[in-house]
Structure formats: C-alpha cells, structure tokens
Chain A
Amino acid sequence: MRFFAHANYKFIEQRKKLYVVSATAILIGIAAMVTNIFSIGSWQNYGIDFTGGSLVQVQFNKPMDAGSLRSALGGGYVITRFGEATTYQIRAPLGEQTIDQVANSIQQKLTTAFGASAFKVMSKDLVSPKVAGELLRKAAMAILFSFIITLIYLAFRFETRFGTAAIIATGHDILITLGFLAIFRMEISLESVAAVLTIVGYSLNDTIIVFDRIRENLHKKGARKRDLIELINASINETLPRTILTSGTTVAVLVALLLLGGAVIRDFTVVLIMGIVVGTYSSIFVASPALVEIQKRWGEGKIREKKAKASPATA
C-alpha cells in the first residue's frame, strides 16, 4: 500500500492563497484574545495553576445540572462540568481561607441542598498566588528557552535561513494554538503549557524532515540548475507519504486518547490534535514558503519565480 507515491502537487505556487488562510486564522485568534480581555478580564482563561485559588472537584450520584449547583452554592464560584454530568469542578476565588475551609464550606452548602449522601469530594487543589506567579514565569521561560535553543541547534545543523523559516512556522503554530485556546476559553493549566511545548516540538520535527530533504536535494548534482521552487515542491512531495502517515498515526493515537482517555486529559488531547494538524499544515504551507520568501529577498540572486515544469518527483 502506498499513498501519494508519485505526488507532484504545486504547493509553493499556492502559497499566497494559504497566507490568507493562515492570516485569517491568526486574526480570528487575536480577536478572541481581545474579546476575552473585555469579557473575562484576561486574554486567556488562566486556571488556578497560574492565578492562585482553590479548586474542589465533586462527584454526584446522579446527573446534576450546573444551574442547580450554582443556586446551591451562591455567587463567587466558577462551576465547570468535568466529563460526565455527575462530576463538577468548583473553583473558589482565593481568600485568606485554607483549602480545608473552602472545601468544608462547599461541602456544607452542597449537603444542605442535596443531602450528604448525594455527592463526594473527589479532589482538592489549592495554589497560592505566589506559587502561581512563579509557575507563570517558569512557563514563559520554558517556551522562550526552547525557542532559543532550537534556533541555535538549527543554525548549527542547517543554515540560518532554514532556522529562521522554521521559527516563523513554529511561531505561526503557537499563535494559532493560543488563538484556539482563547476562542474556546480552554483553561490554561500546566498541562496546556506542556501541550503547547509538545506542539512546538512536533511542528519543528515536521519542518525539519522537509528541510532535511530540501537540504539533501540542494546538495545533489545538478541542484544549482534546478529552480528553487521546483526543488522545494519536489522535496515536499517526496516527504508527503511520510508526513501523512506519521501525522495520521499520531492523530489516530490521540483520537483514541480523546475518546477513551477520560476527562483528566481531554483538554490536553484536544490541544495536541489541533496542534498536530496545524503543525503538519505549517511545515508544508508556511515553513517552505517562508524559505522561498527569505531566499527571494535576501538570497544570492539566481532565484526567479517561473512556472515549474511538470517533472515527476523522484520517488
């Protein structure tokens, strides 16, 4: 069995249209972030890992709706359904109280409303604002450092133009991921930072595979005579079976996790799936075109845009 064995798609020629697609996606995300600033007071829906606060998870014997929970608890609490309609996360703002006091007062209110045997407390989580601030700083540092280190590595292994193009593609993926998180107001937790960093890794990985092939083709005999756009197109097409198969397999595993893995990692998995789709897209439609643009503007001449001949890709 073989997919895309002799693929010869003209990816680069389509790039202008896809710039529009990418730009639109990014703009929608930014619009969502701005909307969030006005509606929830922060560009992302930070979880207690980053804001500080306490979170109590309760499970009821029978399905419960958020409305009756809300009226039982009164104001000041953020109530989210966690998986099935029996499990809820109740987030209380951080006061001077200890987690036990918060949990006890929630427990009391629920007992008054539904009876003591109707529910049980599954987990309690308390983060002080100081720890939260530290976590946020560490997360930002982690993303920044992974960028810098990767750039250095790519500059060392490839050339600067490849490194720059890879960073552009990764930046694109991060922006779209952040936009996605903002649109759905998914809670930003330590796990979602891990997810974003995984996407960074995956997207780079995907880009590197394509770039590795471009580099190889550039070093082949007669490469100087080939048109760069045609060469890059050929490289993308040559790696296409691998790209599709790997992304497909990873997404298949993640879909299994999403459907069967339970509520604890649901958000994490959704972000990863989205990121892998975007990462695959960007290695073809953002990283390689970025390389062309860089070469066209700052490259050593020679590169003219012309209609590539319909030569079959080496396969």
Chain B
Amino acid sequence: MFKTVRGRLITIFLMVAVAGWQLYAHGLKLGLDLKGGMHLALEVDDPANTMSAKQKSDAIDRVERIVRSRINQFGVQEPLIQKEGGDRLIVELAGISDPTEARKIIEKQAYLEFKLVQPVTQVQEALPRIDRAIVSALGVDSIRKLGAAVTASGQNLQQLLFGDTSKAGKSKRDSAAAAAAEDSASALRPLSALLNQGDVLGTFMVDTNDVPTVTEFLALPDVQRILPRDEDLQWGSEVVGRGTRNYKRLYVLTKKPFLTGDMLENAVAGRDPQFNESQVEFTLSRAGGRRFEEFSGQHIGDYLAIVLDSTVMSAPVIKDRIGAQGVIQMGNSPLSDAQDLALVLRAGALPVKLKVADEVTVGPSLGQDSIDQGEVAGIVGILAVIMIMILYYRFSGLLAVLALGVYVVLVLGGLAGLNATLTVPGIAGIILSIGMAVDANVLIFERIREELAAGRATRTAMDEGFSNAMSAIVDSNITTLLTALILFNFGTGPVKGFAVTLSIGIVASFISAVFVTRTFYLIYVGRKKASDPISI
C-alpha cells in the first residue's frame, strides 16, 4: 500500500479523515488554565493516622463514586475525577462558575444519622471526674485564663432562665473576694462551669463564645474515656438567643444511631409551609421505613435527633409512629443550601472526612485571555515557520508546509481521540513538536541538496536524501519521545498535559515529515525527468 503514490495518498487521506472525525466527534477539551474552573486534590482526613494505606485507598475508591454522582447531579460538563497515587482524588471542573459552592458539594460528608436524645443524668454524674481530668490534662493556669473569661456568662443565663434567685443575690452581695473565689472554683471545674442547664430535655446550653473551648475539652482522650460509653455529646445547629447572649445546645444522644443515611431513597428541598423556612424532605427505603416505623412506635414521647455530619439538625418529639417520610429543618438558611443538602443526601454520604490538599481556581476571563494570546502567538509562530521554509526551500518548502498542515490535523485529532486536555504548557508542547517536524524536513532537504551538489540525478538524490536523514530523525525523535514519556509518568497536571501533546506531536511530526512530505515529493519528482532541476 505504501509502494505506490496512490496507496500513499489514500493512507494520508484516511489518516486525515480519521483525525478530522475524532476532532469533530469529541472536540478539544480545554484545561483549567484556558477555560477557567477549579482543580481540587482531596485526601482522607486522618490526623491521628489510624487508617492503613489500603483502607485509605479503598475509601478513596468509594469517595470517587459518590463525588462523581454528586457532580453529575450538580450538572458540570465533563468533570475530570480520578484517583491519583493511591490515596488522593483529583477533581477538575473546567468552566465552572461558582467554585465555592461546588467545593461545598464535594466536601460535604453528608452522613445522616437518627439517634435518640438521652437524659443528661449520666453525663452530669460524670462531670466532676471530667473536670478533674481536664485540669490534670491541661494544667490549672491555662484553664484559669479560659475560665475567667467565661464564668460570667454562665451566671447570666441562670438568671435569665430561672429568675434572680438566691445565688444571684449572693453574688451581688459579695464583693471582689467572693468573685475571686468563684473564679478559682470555676477554674477547677472548667467544663461544668461552661455547661448551663438546657431548655429542652437532654441538652446543655453553651454560650457560642465558649463552643470552641467546650469542643476542645470534650475531644481530650482522658475526657473521652470518662464519658458514658453508650452516649455521645453533639452540638445542635441552631443558635438560641437569650437576652443579649447567644447559646448553642449540646445534646446528649445515644452513641449508636438506629438508622443512617444509607437507608435513604430520596431527598427533596422545599419550604416549610408554616414558617417559610428551608427544609429537606426525605424518603426512606422500604427496609428503612419499616425500621423507622417500628422504632418510633416503641419510643413515643421521646425526642428523636436528626444528626447530619455530627451536628444535630433538629430533635423533635416523637408523637406517633413515623413512616418512611421525614424532614430535616434548616431554619432560615437560604433555599439553595437546602437544595445542596438534598443533592448530597441523594448521592450518598462520603465514607470518610476529606481535606483539600491542593486547590487551584482560575477565573474564566483569565482563561479567555490565555486562549486569545495563545492563538495569536500560535498563528504568528506558524506564519514565521511557513515563511522561513518557503523562502529557504522554495517549492520543496511549500511541500513541507503542506505536510505540516497534515501534521496539525493529526495532532488535534490525536488530542481529541485520546480525550487529552489542552493546557497552556500543552500548547507549548505542540509548538515544540512543530519545531521537530520542521527539523525533520530541514534534515531531509539538506541531505537532498548535498546529494544534488554531489551530482546525483534528481530521483536518486531524493531517495538518498530521505534515507540518509532517516537515522538522525529516528534517533532525535525517539530521545525526545522518551523524555516525554518520562515526563508523563512523573509529571502531574500541567506537566502531564505538556508531555501528552509533545508525545502526540512527535509521532505526528514523524509521520508528517517522513511519510507525507515524501509522498508529496514523489508526486512532484515523478513528473520530472532525471536531469530536470528541482526547486529546493
């Protein structure tokens, strides 16, 4: 097939047709730097390092499926979601307009649990021991600093909730000495001083300013050991205003949920018709519905906590058996938050917490500038190559330029066919491989000129020229290709893009120079007698 000019032309035509079709069918995918968008690298958040590499890798596999489903529902075109290096997930959303919202949707763990609210008695009994554990773990001095700042708030709440009783009266009567005593006493009971009696069964109230301190205390390993084994303390999402102060509820819940989000079948965002507040209505699967019904039937009069990512969203009282339907109230958050929550609940919970290891967002206008500038530079560069080739090699140069045209179609088709992403360094890779294609042509033409100068006939000079240049072309192409492959292997992101376009470019430039130029040459020289001069 390669022997005859006709066979060669058909081959070229087929290659161009396939490449053109690939380009038409898939289109060129533009990278973040060209199109704008967001790149995220996510890792399993495991600060205590309790998971093995294998566990992390499995977790990332599951995360990948869920994130993909969330993003598909979010409606991003052609997201790139792939696992990298065993324990990392790369998410690239090109052309996205609101990266912050997308990030929330990806990162949200969306772990939904249903738990019963427990009376505070067990925790209350353990408080003195917890206080002592905190003092011995953190030391008196550091606690005193925290304690002094927060005791006053506790007193105020007592007053607000239960009126100005004897305790308040006493503290008024007593002077600075008593206040100091109070101060050191609270320093010795760091946690209980911050916990105020709750307004609902099974809760404590904590001043919002003290929430981080309490969270820190509760996270201490020594405290975790003392806390009742079958109970959990979790924050409510709602902020409760009492006078000038704001409080958060700390719920005492059963440790084990009786139902989790895996039993969820559907979730829809909506508004509460009564208060016009955002909410998410969910439907449980059949099995989940049965379990829910049975459980709620046994616990009529108890409080049911709906816990999302370790935060109690609401804790309504169970008035009757509850079927497969339920509601997550979101207070006065915007409806879009409810929509996002419904979306992540539908897609499923992430099996682990994630943290962002690497993030890039590029504004769309920056991308557009890059494209425009790259285009202009590319066109000018190509024109320069065309001019140099034609000025220097005349008609032969023109043939080489035509072959370069084939090269461009092959590269673009190759990129589209391999589903590669074109980035700014990628464009540089293409331009560099244009250089390689020109180089191959130059090598060939120089050899032909040498042969002609040595007095060979046109046809012989052409054959000799091509075959003499071959070893140099092969060697230089292969070394560059090797470098490109190594780059591809070790590179990430932009470097990889560069390596891909360079590799495709080298293969295309080899085909273009060695096969396409030669075919054009065969047609050109074929019409001449051996002694006719050629334009080179």
Task: Provide the bound-state CA to CA distance between A99 and B362, in Å.
Answer: 13
Interface string of A253-270 (1 = CB under 8 A from B): 110110111101100110
Closest beta carbon of chain B to A206's beta carbon, Å: 8
Residues of B near A80 (CB, < 8 A) are: none
Q: Is A123 an interface residue (CB 8 A)?
A: yes
Is A249 a contact of B358 with CB atoms below 8 Å?
A: no
Task: Provide the bound-state CA to CA distance between A256 and B389, in Å.
Answer: 16
Which parts of B345-374 form the interface with A (CB within 8 Å)?
356-363, 365-366, 369-370, 373-374
Task: Provide the bound-state CA to CA distance between A1 and B361, in Å.
Answer: 50
Closest residue of B by beta carbon distance from A248: B388
Is A238 a contact of B431 with CB atoms below 8 Å?
A: no
Residues of A near B495 (CB, < 8 A) are: 190-191, 193-194
Closest beta carbon of chain A to B259's beta carbon, Å: 33
Is A99 a contact of B359 with CB atoms below 8 Å?
A: yes
Task: Provide the bound-state CA to CA distance between A131 and B501, in Å.
Answer: 24
Closest beta carbon of chain A to B451's beta carbon, Å: 11
Task: Provide the bound-state CA to CA distance between A269 and B436, in Å.
Answer: 17
Is B450 a contact of A150 with CB atoms below 8 Å?
A: no
Known: A122-B365, A208-B472. A149 touches B482 (CB 8 A): yes
Between B380, B479, B482, B502, the greatest number of chain A beta carbons within 10 A of the residue's beta carbon is seen for: B479
Which one of B130-138, B139-147, B306-314, B438-446 contacts A? B438-446
Closest beta carbon of chain A to B379's beta carbon, Å: 9
Is B479 a contact of A238 with CB atoms below 8 Å?
A: no
Between A57, A190, A245, A269, the greatest number of chain B beta carbons within 10 A of the residue's beta carbon is seen for: A245
Q: Is A315 an interface residue (CB 8 A)?
A: yes
Q: Choose among B388, B425, B443, B453 the residue that contacts A242 (Cβ–Cβ < 8 A).
A: B443
Is B428 a contact of A262 with CB atoms below 8 Å?
A: no
Q: Is A205 an interface residue (CB 8 A)?
A: yes
Closest beta carbon of chain B to A8's beta carbon, Å: 15
Residues of B near A135 (CB, < 8 A) are: 492
Q: Choose among A2, A122, A157, A194 the residue that contacts B475 (Cβ–Cβ < 8 A).
A: A157
Which one of B245-253, B329-337, B483-491 contacts A? B483-491
Residues of A near B427 (CB, < 8 A) are: 265
Q: Is A42 an interface residue (CB 8 A)?
A: no
Is A262 a contact of B374 with CB atoms below 8 Å?
A: yes
Known: A2-B449, A125-B359, A208-B472. A268 touches B483 (CB 8 A): no
Known: A57-B366, A139-B490, A248-B388. A261 touches B449 (CB 8 A): no
Closest residue of A by beta carbon distance from B394: A1
Closest beta carbon of chain A to B190's beta carbon, Å: 24
Task: Provide the bound-state CA to CA distance between A130 and B46, in Å.
Answer: 14
Q: Choose among B358, B376, B385 the residue that contacts A253 (Cβ–Cβ < 8 A).
A: B385
Residues of A near B381 (CB, < 8 A) are: 252-254, 256-257
Q: Choose among A149, A194, A248, A272 the residue that contacts B491 (Cβ–Cβ < 8 A).
A: A194
Is A264 a contact of B377 with CB atoms below 8 Å?
A: no
Which one of A32-40, A140-148, A180-188, A287-295 contacts B? A140-148
Is B100 a contact of A100 with CB atoms below 8 Å?
A: yes
Which parts of B447-479 form the interface with A (CB within 8 Å)?
449-450, 453-454, 468, 471-472, 475-476, 478-479
Known: A1-B392, A130-B357, A265-B425. A209 touches B476 (CB 8 A): yes
Known: A146-B486, A194-B425, A315-B453. A205 touches B476 (CB 8 A): yes
Task: Provide the bound-state CA to CA distance between A153 and B369, in Å.
Answer: 41
Closest beta carbon of chain A to B104's beta carbon, Å: 10
Is B435 a contact of A141 with CB atoms below 8 Å?
A: no
Closest beta carbon of chain B to A48's beta carbon, Å: 10
Residues of A near B385 (CB, < 8 A) are: 249, 252-253
Task: Provide the bound-state CA to CA distance between A197 and B494, in Å.
Answer: 14
Task: Provide the bound-state CA to CA distance between A84 and B100, in Å.
Answer: 28
Task: Provide the bound-state CA to CA distance between A222 and B318, in Å.
Answer: 104
Residues of B near A253 (CB, < 8 A) are: 381-382, 384-385, 431, 434-435
Is B425 a contact of A249 with CB atoms below 8 Å?
A: no
Task: Provide the bound-state CA to CA distance between A239 and B447, in Å.
Answer: 9
Closest beta carbon of chain B to A84's beta carbon, Å: 10
Is B442 a contact of A245 with CB atoms below 8 Å?
A: yes
Residues of B near A13 (CB, < 8 A) are: none
Closest residue of A by beta carbon distance from B383: A256
Closest beta carbon of chain A to B42's beta carbon, Å: 11
Q: Is A277 an interface residue (CB 8 A)?
A: no
Q: Is B432 an interface residue (CB 8 A)?
A: yes
Task: Provide the bound-state CA to CA distance between A191 and B423, in Å.
Answer: 11
Q: Is A204 an interface residue (CB 8 A)?
A: yes
Q: Choose among B41, B428, B472, B475 the residue that contacts A269 (Cβ–Cβ < 8 A).
A: B428
Which parts of A274-315 form the interface with B (CB within 8 Å)?
314-315
Q: Is A171 an interface residue (CB 8 A)?
A: no
Q: Is B33 an interface residue (CB 8 A)?
A: yes
Is A246 a contact of B472 with CB atoms below 8 Å?
A: no
Residues of B near A314 (CB, < 8 A) are: 450, 454
Known: A191-B425, A262-B374. A123 touches B366 (CB 8 A): yes
Is A265 a contact of B369 with CB atoms below 8 Å?
A: no
Q: Is A128 an interface residue (CB 8 A)?
A: yes
Is B359 a contact of A126 with CB atoms below 8 Å?
A: yes
Is A256 a contact of B443 with CB atoms below 8 Å?
A: no
Residues of A near B363 (CB, < 8 A) are: 120-123
Closest beta carbon of chain A to B373's beta carbon, Å: 3
Is B376 a contact of A260 with CB atoms below 8 Å?
A: yes
Closest residue of A by beta carbon distance from B436: A205
Is A262 a contact of B369 with CB atoms below 8 Å?
A: yes
Task: Provide the bound-state CA to CA distance between A209 and B476, in Å.
Answer: 7
Is B478 a contact of A252 with CB atoms below 8 Å?
A: no
Is A126 a contact of B498 with CB atoms below 8 Å?
A: no
Task: Provide the bound-state CA to CA distance between A146 and B443, in Å.
Answer: 25
Residues of B near A128 (CB, < 8 A) are: 356-358
Given contacts A123-B363, A191-B495, 14 further A-B contacts (CB under 8 A): A123-B360, A125-B359, A126-B358, A139-B490, A146-B482, A191-B494, A194-B428, A205-B479, A205-B480, A242-B442, A242-B446, A257-B378, A257-B381, A257-B431
A-B contact pairs, 13 of them (CB 8 A): A122-B363, A122-B366, A123-B363, A142-B491, A145-B489, A149-B486, A190-B495, A197-B483, A200-B483, A205-B480, A216-B468, A241-B446, A250-B435
A contact residues vs B (CB 8 Å cutoff):
1-2, 57, 59, 98-100, 120-128, 130-131, 134-135, 138-139, 141-142, 145-146, 149-150, 153-154, 157, 190-191, 193-194, 197-198, 200-202, 204-205, 208-209, 212-213, 216, 238-239, 241-242, 245-246, 248-250, 252-254, 256-257, 259-262, 264-265, 268-269, 272, 314-315
